[in-house]
Chain A
Amino acid sequence: MSSSIAIKVENLSKMYRLGQVGTGTLSHDLKRWWALTRGKEDPYLKIGQVNKRSEKGDSQYTWALKDISFQVNQGDVLGIVGSNGAGKSTLLKLLSRVTSPTEGRVKVKGRIASLLEVGTGFHPEMTGRENIYMNGAILGMSRHEIKRKFDDIVEFAGIAKYTETPVKRYSSGMYVRLAFAVAAHLESEILIVDEVLAVGDMEFQKKCLSKMNDISHNDGRTVLFVSHNLPSVQALCNRAISLEFGQKRMEGDTADVIADYLKKNKGGDAVKWNGRSEAEVAGKLAYFSDISLHSQFDNNIQMGDDIVLNIGVTLTDDIQGVMLRIMLHDSNEQLITSLFSLDFGTDLKLKKGYNSTRITVKKPNLLPGDYKISLSVLYNYGSQVYDTINDCITFTMLVADVTGTGVPFLSDRGKMWFDTEFVNLNA
């Protein structure tokens, strides 16, 4: 046992009241007080239910977290995954002491700093310098500590010229960079990070990720990382837990947890594009009514899986030779491919009225990253375009062991891969 425990979570539970908080609280307070003074249990604590949002419960109270227990060793980078409402944010709030648990406890060794947001406490009227000190102090750094790291922070943010300018004059990019720079230089033993990385340009995001990597691998600090972005969880974390309806689903190696998580979420039209108003489609001979991406969860597709789009196309007249086009762009707006239905010899034979269609891109050779889909309905290879929807669906390609070697493509390898044979002809 070389590493000791940094965080120990024991039966952590958190109850929330549903509905409009503020109405009827006085009467509930009185009832609760009456029960407690007679030595009875809190009447509202008994009606705990598992937090399934889609099912309507009969209780006014719900468990956002129920009996969560796990341990984090010192130096671990723990990823916390789960779909919306699984309890990730609640867990973070409890760990960062923003609110208190209803039951259970958390034992912590070392200083905790949490980054649920970047730039907490920034005051627009104050200069960059003043805000670095302010924000640092809020995150728990001492004046002395900030002074020592001041130059590093300014350099990391790349705002050397603007330290004496009020931050309200900053561009939004500069603002975010400064905010993250302060946070990145925290010296606490434990760092809790929410999806704050979803800000800034690509280059800066990469910088942040590598900084996080540094923090954990070189300094041996403990990091808890919550994100929807499974590729970054995969890249950063050595361990992960998944949450489901406020309860722990699985704990273990990142790869196992994510694989299990994806398996469970298989199926479902998760990402949708929901048409437009009648005014916008008025006068169009053909237009898209609805588009949805069949995905495992949220907007993630695993390497080796098909991209399946269910598309509703409406024709306002009988037109012959109407075709569909799908275009794929990467996150830098580079076109990857543009495919017409007629490329594959398909005549869709769309009729007047609503047509339900499906496009399946079979096992695209895309590498992990973010991609965008644009769709068009047109006539004869574009001699007339009836309707185009740019970037109607954005999805993330997740890493998977497509080559069956146990070593998936992880680092930056471009956009596509091809099944390639490497042979030593001398052998």
Chain B
Amino acid sequence: MTERSAAEEQKWDLIIGEQGKFFSLNLRDIWRFRDLLVMFVKRDIVTVYKQTILGPIWFVIQPIFTSLTYMIIFTRMAKIGTDEISPILFYLAGVTMWNYFSETLNVTSKTFIENASIFGKVYFPRVIIPLSKIISGLIKYLIQFALFLIVLAYNFIVKGNVHPNAAVLLLPVLLLLMAFMSFGIGLIITSMTTKYRDLTFLITFGISLFMYLTPVIYPASKFANYRYILNLNPLTSIFETFKYGFLGKGEFNIMWLGYTALFTLVVTVYGMAVFNKIEKKFIDTV
């Protein structure tokens, strides 16, 4: 009997209550639920504009209106320059990128609280939810990016005042960095909100404030004297490299981009570790 049970011991498919490692990606589980990941992405995209007449066109109307608003407020009224780039193009570049970052951060940082009811009823790797958010956010971004490209082509052909260069090839890297930065920070915040709800109030406020510390609506060159401080914000190099590549203005500095990459790696790894620890018990405290 004991021999038999010893043999059995090897064959368990799952052991609940094991102390997990500090950091485990649990890729096998995520792979098993890959169809669910696809379903969540689809749901995010499809359900947003169901029962609307314009449907997915809303994805592009929104950044156009935001850019126009910024144009009126910051260019016309506040007279903040845009580095001699057509203001609508300049803002469109910033706004679409910023939207991707802030929306992803906003939803991933609410992972536990918003999904408490479903997490309380069924098991699947919790990280599927924030992963689906960065993917559906990316799809939305790419739709908006197409709009940006159209405006860019117009400026390039008709006005000739933009100078795209080889740095555009870095776009996938920039998007990846931005996606995982918001993912990592989001995971850390959502893990903390399961116990300390106060953070939920701060996060929305914090994100909108943070936009002004990032060269979204102004060129970084405007603050040449404080460049170091501005560069400490890991988003700065992403936005500047993007503008450098597509518009020919801005700054491309491999060192600061490396700093951003390191920062992203650290928050992602730390975020995953905290998230893995919290996900096992959060339902008791949320």
Task: Kindly specify which of B103-111, B119-127, B164-172, B201-209 makes contact with the partner chain.
Answer: B119-127
Identify which of residues 1-37 in chain B touch chain A, using a CB-to-CB cut-off of 8 Å: 4, 8, 11-18, 32-33, 35-36
Nearest residue in A to B283 (C-beta to C-beta)? A99
- A120 touching B280 in the complex, CB below 8 Å, given contacts A105-B16, A138-B36: no
How far apart are the CA atoms of A99 and B194 in the complex, in Å? 14
Q: Among B13, B18, B50, which residue has its beta carbon within 8 angstroms of that of A111?
A: B13
- A93 and B283 contact, CB distance less than 8 A: yes
Q: Among B50, B122, B195, B283, which residue has its beta carbon within 8 angstroms of that of A139?
A: B122
Task: Kindly specify which of A20-28, A226-234, A275-283, A392-400 makes contact with the partner chain.
Answer: A20-28
Count, chain A residues at interface, CB 8 A: 49
Chain B's nearest CB lies how many Å from the CB of A360? 43
Nearest residue in B to A29 (C-beta to C-beta)? B195
In the assembled complex, A100 has its CB within 8 A of some CB on chain B: yes
Q: How large is the interface on B (under 10, 10 to 19, 20 to 34, 35 or more residues)?
A: 35 or more
Residues of A within 8 A of B12 (CB): 107-109
- A100 touching B122 in the complex, CB below 8 Å, given contacts A109-B11, A133-B39: no
Residues of B within 8 A of A22 (CB): 195-197, 285
Identify which of residues 1-32 in chain A touch chain B, using a CB-to-CB cut-off of 8 Å: 1, 4-5, 12, 16-17, 21-22, 25-26, 29
- B43 and A100 contact, CB distance less than 8 A: no
- B39 and A134 contact, CB distance less than 8 A: yes
Chain A's nearest CB lies how many Å from the CB of B279? 9
Identify which of residues 117-153 in chain A touch chain B, using a CB-to-CB cut-off of 8 Å: 117, 120-121, 123, 125-126, 130, 133-134, 137-143
Give 22 CB contacts A-B under 8 Å.
Answer: A21-B284, A22-B195, A22-B197, A22-B285, A25-B196, A98-B122, A100-B17, A107-B12, A108-B15, A114-B123, A116-B121, A116-B122, A121-B118, A126-B46, A130-B43, A138-B36, A138-B122, A140-B32, A141-B35, A142-B35, A143-B38, A166-B50
Which B residues have a C-beta under 8 Å from some C-beta of A? 4, 8, 11-18, 32-33, 35-36, 38-39, 42-43, 46-47, 50-51, 118-124, 195-197, 280-281, 283-285
Which A residues have a C-beta under 8 Å from some C-beta of B? 1, 4-5, 12, 16-17, 21-22, 25-26, 29, 93-101, 103-112, 114, 116-117, 120-121, 123, 125-126, 130, 133-134, 137-143, 166
